[in-house]
Amino acid sequence: MLAKLVDGYYLYCSDLRTDLLATNGVSAWSCSNRVPSEVLEWFRLGRPFSGYQIEEIDSTLSLKIKNLPEIILKSAEPVKVIPTILTELSLRENKRELNAKQEAARIAKEAKRKEIFRTATLKNVALKVAYLGWKYDGLARQINTNDTIEEILLRACEKCALIYTARDYKITRCGRTDKGVSAFTQVISLYLRSKTAEGETDPEKDYDYVTLINNVLPPKVKLVAWAYVGLEFDARFQVLYRSYKYYFPKCDLDIELMRGSLERFVGTHNFRGFCKADRTLESQNFERTITYLAIDLVTEDRDDDKLSIYCITILGHAFLWHQIRNMVSLLFRIGLQLESPKVISSMLETGVKYNYGMASQIPLVLFDCEFENIDWNEGRIDLSQTWFESVVKTTLIKQLMSTELLSVKNIGVLCDTKQQSIMSRPFIT
């Protein structure tokens, strides 16, 4: 999180909110104490910081913010502080050079935006978002790419003047989906500009957030609904449950054998063998509870049963990193009779992780999540163009597969055969 102050100073707060750094490009300072709530509020709301000034004291060995005298930053090594802030700047600053007329227009636009947000009412709003994440780099913002769902959504809100700036804007999210994973009901919360007064919660008098934001979003990312939420609302920790679905063709899989294995996952278990450990955490709890697990037929192909589409539905409160994809991978191996269902119980009891490849991220969807006491205001979205393009592509590919020249003798290769290497399957990456 990066903030530009007056007099050429920059403040940087780490994502973990434990380090507060400052630099003027030559010297550097750091605050080892707990970051004050006022500073976190600046970063979170994306407000302009022109009213706060840095004052050097003790011959530049220390800094303090005049308006917040309790914040003292001590001298630090520039080689550690400056590169961090310069990296943030290089990823966020506009590199395009403007001529005098363009620069004047930019300054006027910025001044108008500051005036709007100086008196604006901001309210904590929950947004229900649906997206096909196949070509995106995941949900959460990253420093090495702008092609994430959060980045796209925040830039759309900035373009609609619902937030002051998309830079370093903090949001809470229901579930963090990885690269290539989709969501039908992703819930995030952030502070948006409102037409109504402080304390007033009448959706009819406020902006039509769904229509407004969807007008500037790409076709495969859409806002479905919005709702007012309290100041303490956190989409991650206040969710009652999350459900995921994983879609796949039947191929050579023994669906009944897979269904008979599901009950071994249900309940509270140690899923250490089915996840990737998060190295940013000093200690991690691998115990999770699965309340429901099923395999259902989605689309039946009467000409060739191997082309019928099924989905695995999994319901729980929280999941570990890559947990579902690893579970699906093992279920595929059981369905192909490469493993015994007893392996599930063994992995849950011992926590041992076998060297299985993960199931592909493409068929995985964050299907639903449930919260208490949220009155959603739903909007209408049009996905007809996306559907048309996709169904035509699917039909063309299926027709190509049925030609005599490119006939598929064994459709089971889509998942696995006993002759294949474990890492060669399209559904295992």
User: Which residues does the annotation mark as catalytic?
Assistant: 178
- Kindly give the interhelix angle for 342-350 and 323-335, rounded to the nearest 10 degrees: 150
CB 182 within 8 A of CB 364: yes
Cα atoms in the Cβ-side hemisphere of radius 13 Å centred on 35: 21
Beta bridge partners of 241: 370
Query: Which amino acid appears at position 329 of this protein?
Result: S
C-alpha closest to that of 185 among 130, 127, 246? 130
CA atoms within 13 A on the CB side of 316: 21
Q: Identify any residues that bridge with 194 across adjacent strands, giving them in sequence order.
A: 121
**φ/ψ (deg, to 5) at 146:** -105, 0
DSSP-assigned beta bridge partners for residue 150: none
DSSP assignment, residue 66? T
Give me the DSSP letters along 165-209: -STT---EES----TT-EEEEEEEEEEEEESSPTT---GGGS--H
Any idea how long the chain is? Answer: 429
Q: Report how far residue 92's alpha carbon sits from residue 185's, in angstroms, rounded to the nearest whole number.
A: 29
Torsion angle of C-alpha atoms 218, 222, 223, 224, degrees rounded to 10: 160
Over its C-alpha atoms, the chain yields an Rg (Å, rounded) of 26
Neighbours of 407 (CB within 10 A): 8
The angle formed by the CA atoms of residues 25, 29 and 32, to the nearest 5 degrees, is 150
Residue type for position 253: L
SS3 content of the chain, % helix, strand, coil (to 5): 30, 25, 45
What is the phi/psi pair of residue 323, to 5°?
Answer: -60, -50
